[in-house]
């Protein structure tokens, strides 16, 4: 291959390729003898200048880590790293030898002594890697080379380097979330959730050892009742010292809290096998828990992030630990056992649920909001004041007559330090002016608390929620928490209720000032009552003026106030930026109102984005104190709509109109995070639209199911009574379909207009009677048989009773379903009624039993109590549709085959495969199909009225690129409440 890189590296041949790039064998023409080296080409997968700049910085940082690691004899030296034509290259020392994978292919299995030596060799080099604050992430046989010269194991292909290639870079050039790095079978659960720790590498080494001992693929290892890998279950494939087996089992525990904390600890346990004076204790299965042995990984990552020139460093990077105490920040965190809850062994499912929620909180709020927010781009140190008079703590009563003045905290004081000093049962109130950084401060605290919770299952689960939605129902805080966890994080109510009752959550509650004014005092009372009953640790944020205007106070232990920026801080910040801000500087000197506005970190960032590159002469003058904020936001909107590098998919008028409608809906519904699947019929503006919605839903459902059931039933009965006649059978089918459509139209119009007149059981009975009369009459006319009409009338009447409630209920997605014996047993009466109705309609006993059983089975589907890991825009509706499709196929096939066997294939095809399958899709799993139809009809009406575009997710992503919105998991929020309020006050 005639390729020359960096003017010195001649490519000989490719060695391999993968999702992260290619590897080549090369020679270095600048060194004597032209020694062989390995060149790795890494694809950043980005194209914009901002994205490439971020990727380059991350690439250089990772290269520095590899340079440092290469000093070890069992790690290839990094010889060079460079960028060429927007591609990144690493040049590393060539290791002559065979990979462990190649050796295992030849020998299949190794002896116990050989595996012990193998593990010792791996752990020795891995202990050095961990001492440098680095996690390998991808230990597997193909990344372990047995060097030919001395038979030592050399560790290659560090997973951290791959981070450059898989960065998600947003429109502003910021690196955000990364995906999990590693190889299936060698990754423990926390690494799959993108939360690796030192013990994740220990797990991979243990898997390699078991694979070498048994010759079994990691995916085929048998699991015991606790879903743990057990040497005892490997049978005759493994016969080793019980002490060694105990060490291997400890290395591969499901919960990383029960593994060795790092490679040094695992190596120490392994060395005891050869210490006759210290026999192996059976308690070796429980790893040591000394504070000194705990890895302190993530806090240095955060410290490094705060001290780099840009704040776009990914939280998954593992920079080196400080070399000396002098380099360590004053508030450098050390794990504290006094703030951990009592550790209770978690089952595999409980551990999965906990890790899934931690991952969602991190992805939604830390990576999705904090690390991409406007405020977090400002490298400014906000001043903090202690405000003891803001809270009604019991020990403050004695000093009520002698008011304590605000106390300014020392510069550099971090929010995590304040929170830690409160002690067990911590409660903290964060106050500030609009745009002062309250939410940012809350999320910085969240980031620190997530680190602890991920490293230690004994710590509480930090959860970010917004109090604005509490006022909608005014439940108790406990009930509200269960509903919010279900809505915002897709936590099943059963699990959420358990977490609340067992006090496993640490609540980070934003937006007390966003609760409706008339409900705020009641909200404070509810929070106080909840805290008194449960003793839950929590943090609450509020605008200071809104809080001070209330009668009640939170019974919290401490309160702090975020001070506004000083003129010196504003000037230093503007001088630090490289943007052309000459016009803004001049305007700040001339306009006192603008100077006052710039004291808010949010507004200062808005100014920088709105005024960069604009001369002082062309800048608009601010008129009055009342509308200066409005003028600034108007200018910001204009600049963001003309932002370069973003495709102009919508006109200015469309964008503003849709954002105004969204802001008003969010404000009216007391929401913060907007989820597409959570739009409800009450979002419709007029009574006419709501009637059209109800009529449309009824028409769609019975135009599909009613026409098919009536038409196919008519065709089958004609064939059954008169034999096969193509023309006449087709005529009956067509007449049945037409009659079914007419029936759906009549029912839709009458039912849609009258459904809201009655409530409760009377309404359901009336709805069932109406539906039964319509379709009973149609069936009697089509079949010319009153008996069949009676049967169909009773069947549709039964459906109408349940259908009424499904229509009236709010749209609630069905993301995951299961079949429940308990729920099936509770619906045996429904199955019996269905069978009786079928017999009354002239059906056979065998078919009636099958239809009754099918109805019972359909009613037995329920939601799964598991926290889902992934969240995408409109995920709930897409998953509901997938569940409906699954029910359509499974119920239809099983019923069709059953009826075809006991009756005849024609009846099985028409009534079983089609009609029963559709019934299962529509009504099964708490109405999966009906949920999709209701959502579709609502979207159609909102689109037709000009409130939303047809492809809503595409528009919301566009608004995110224009920096009006931010993504929070599968939802969206305005970049700040002030901007949302500005849109809500604009004219449509």
Catalytic residues: 138
The Cα-based distances of 311 to 321, 379, 453, 670, 686 in angstroms read 18, 8, 23, 32, 47
The Cα-based distances of 571 to 237, 249, 659 in angstroms read 71, 59, 33
3-state secondary structure of 754: helix
Backbone φ and ψ of 507, nearest 5°: -90, 125
DSSP string across 941-982? HHHHTTSS-SSHHHHHHHHHHTTSEEEETTEEEES-HHHHHH
- Residues 669 and 684: their CA atoms lie apart, in Å, by 12
Residue with tokens 């979330």: 177
- Residues 218 and 182: their CA atoms lie apart, in Å, by 14
Structure tokens that stand for 980 in this block: 């949302």
Q: Are 46 and 167 in contact (CB under 8 A)?
A: yes
Structure tokens that stand for 495 in this block: 């699990």
Structure tokens that stand for 375 in this block: 């405020």
**Which residues are CB-contacts of 23 (< 8 A; sequence separation ≥ 6)?**
14, 15, 16, 17, 38, 39, 40, 41
**Which residues are CB-contacts of 612 (< 8 A; sequence separation ≥ 6)?**
579, 580, 581, 584
Q: Are 63 and 81 in contact (CB under 8 A)?
A: yes
Q: Which of 509, 607, 513, 613 is nearest to 556 (CA)?
A: 509
For the chain, count helices (H), then strands (E): 34, 20
Extract long-range pairs of 620-624: CB within 8 Å, 24+ residues apart: 621/591, 622/591, 622/593, 622/594
Q: Are 468 and 579 in contact (CB under 8 A)?
A: no
**Which stretch of DSSP H or E encloses residue 4?**
strand 4-5
DSSP string across 877-911? HHHHHHHHHHHHHHHHHHHHHHHHHHT-HHHIIII
C-alpha dihedral sign at 882, 883, 886, 891: negative
**Which stretch of DSSP H or E encloses residue 389?**
none
Q: Around 207, how many Cα atoms within 13 Å sit in the side-chain half-sphere?
A: 25
Q: Are 207 and 263 in contact (CB under 8 A)?
A: no
């Amino acid at each position: 291959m005639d390729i020359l890189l960096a003017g010195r590296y001649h490519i000989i041949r490719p060695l391999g390729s993968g999702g992260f790039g290619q590897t080549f064998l090369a020679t270095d023409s600048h060194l004597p003898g032209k020694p062989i080296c390995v060149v790795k080409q890494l694809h950043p997968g980005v194209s914009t200048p901002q994205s490439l700049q971020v990727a380059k910085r991350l690439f250089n940082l990772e290269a520095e880590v590899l340079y440092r690691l290469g000093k070890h004899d069992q790690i290839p030296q990094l010889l060079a790293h460079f960028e060429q034509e927007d591609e990144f290259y690493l040049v590393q020392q060539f290791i002559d030898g065979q990979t462990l994978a190649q050796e295992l292919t030849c020998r299949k299995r190794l002896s116990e002594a050989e595996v012990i030596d193998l593990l010792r060799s791996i752990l020795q080099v891995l202990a050095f890697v961990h001492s440098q604050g680095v996690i390998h992430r991808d230990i597997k046989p193909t990344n372990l080379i047995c060097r030919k010269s001395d038979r030592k194991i050399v560790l290659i292909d560090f997973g951290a380097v791959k981070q450059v290639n898989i960065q998600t870079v947003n429109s502003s050039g910021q690196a955000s979330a990364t995906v999990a790095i590693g190889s299936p079978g060698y990754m423990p659960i926390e690494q799959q959730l993108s939360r690796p720790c030192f013990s994740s590498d220990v797990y991979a080494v243990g898997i390699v050892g078991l694979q070498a001992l048994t010759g079994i693929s990691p995916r085929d290892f048998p699991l015991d009742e606790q879903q743990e890998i057990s040497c005892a279950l490997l049978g005759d494939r493994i016969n080793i010292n019980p002490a060694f087996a105990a060490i291997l089992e400890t290395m591969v525990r499901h919960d990383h809290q029960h593994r060795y904390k790092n490679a040094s600890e695992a190596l120490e346990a392994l060395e005891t096998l050869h210490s006759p004076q210290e026999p192996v204790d059976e308690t070796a299965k429980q790893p040591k828990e000394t504070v000194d042995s705990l890895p302190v990984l993530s806090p240095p990552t955060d410290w490094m992030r705060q001290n780099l020139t840009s704040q776009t460093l990914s939280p998954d990077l593992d920079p080196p630990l400080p070399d000396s105490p002098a380099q360590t920040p004053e508030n450098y965190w050390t794990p504290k056992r006094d703030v951990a809850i009592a550790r209770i062994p978690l089952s595999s499912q409980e551990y999965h649920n906990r890790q899934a929620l931690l991952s969602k909180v991190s992805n939604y709020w830390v990576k999705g909001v904090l690390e991409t927010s406007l405020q977090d781009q400002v490298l400014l140190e906000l001043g903090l004041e202690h405000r003891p008079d803001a809270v009604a703590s019991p020990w403050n009563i004695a000093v009520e007559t002698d008011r304590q003045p605000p106390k300014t905290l020392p510069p550099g004081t971090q929010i995590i330090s304040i929170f830690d000093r409160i002690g067990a049962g911590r409660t903290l109130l964060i106050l500030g002016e609009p745009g002062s950084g309250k939410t940012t401060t809350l999320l910085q605290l969240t980031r620190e608390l997530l680190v602890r919770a991920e490293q230690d299952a004994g710590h509480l689960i930090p959860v970010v929620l917004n109090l604005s939605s509490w006022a909608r129902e005014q439940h108790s805080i406990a009930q509200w928490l269960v509903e919010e966890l279900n809505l915002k994080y897709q936590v099943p109510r059963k699990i959420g209720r358990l977490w609340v009752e067992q006090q496993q959550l640490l609540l980070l509650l934003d937006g007390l000032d966003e609760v409706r004014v008339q409900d705020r005092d009641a909200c404070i009372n509810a929070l106080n009552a909840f805290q008194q009953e449960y003793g839950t640790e929590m943090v609450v944020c509020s605008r200071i003026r809104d809080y001070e205007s209330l009668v009640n106070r939170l019974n919290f232990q401490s309160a702090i106030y975020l001070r506004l920026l000083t003129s010196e801080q504003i000037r230093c910040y503007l001088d630090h930026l490289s943007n052309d801000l000459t016009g803004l500087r001049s305007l700040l000197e001339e306009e006192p109102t603008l100077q006052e506005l710039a004291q808010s970190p949010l507004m200062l960032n808005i100014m920088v984005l709105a005024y960069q590159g604009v001369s002082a002469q062309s800048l608009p003058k601010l008129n009055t104190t009342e509308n200066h904020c409005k003028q600034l936001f108007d200018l910001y909107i204009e600049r963001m709509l003309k932002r370069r590098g973003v495709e102009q998919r919508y006109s200015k008028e469309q964008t503003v109109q849709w954002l105004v409608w969204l802001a008003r809906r969010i404000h009216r519904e007391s929401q913060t995070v907007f989820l597409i699947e959570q739009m409800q019929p009450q979002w419709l503006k007029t009574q006419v639209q709501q009637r059209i919605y109800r009529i449309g839903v009824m028409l769609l459902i019975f135009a599909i199911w009613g026409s098919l059931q009536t038409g196919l039933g008519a065709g089958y009965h004609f064939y059954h009574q008169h034999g096969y006649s193509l023309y006449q059978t087709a005529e009956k089918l067509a007449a049945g379909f037409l009659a079914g459509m007419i029936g759906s139209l009549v029912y839709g119009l009458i039912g849609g207009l009258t459904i809201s007149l009655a409530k409760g059981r009377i309404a359901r009975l009336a709805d069932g009677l109406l539906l039964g009369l319509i379709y009973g009459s149609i069936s009697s006319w089509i079949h010319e048989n009153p008996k069949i009409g009676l049967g169909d009338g009773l069947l549709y009447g039964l459906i109408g009773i349940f259908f009424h409630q499904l229509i009236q209920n709010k749209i609630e997605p069905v993301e995951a379903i299961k079949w429940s014996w308990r729920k099936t047993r509770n619906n045996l009466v429904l199955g019996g009624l269905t069978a009786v109705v079928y017999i009354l309609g002239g059906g056979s006993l065998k078919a009636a039993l099958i239809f009754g059983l099918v109805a019972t089975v359909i009613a037995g589907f329920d939601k799964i109590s598991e926290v889902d890991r992934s969240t995408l825009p409109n995920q709930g509706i897409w998953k509901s549709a997938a569940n409906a499709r699954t029910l359509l196929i499974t119920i239809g096939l099983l019923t069709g085959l059953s009826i075809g066997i006991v009756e005849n294939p024609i009846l099985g095809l028409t009534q079983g495969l089609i009609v029963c399958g559709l019934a299962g899709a529509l009504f099964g799993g708490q109405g999966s199909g009906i949920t999709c139809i209701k959502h579709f009809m609502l979207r159609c009406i909102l689109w037709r009225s000009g409130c939303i575009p047809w492809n809503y997710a595409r528009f919301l992503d566009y608004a995110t690129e224009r920096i009006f919105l931010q993504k929070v998991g599968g939802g969206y929020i305005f970049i700040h409440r002030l901007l949302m309020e500005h849109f809500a006050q604009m004219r449509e």
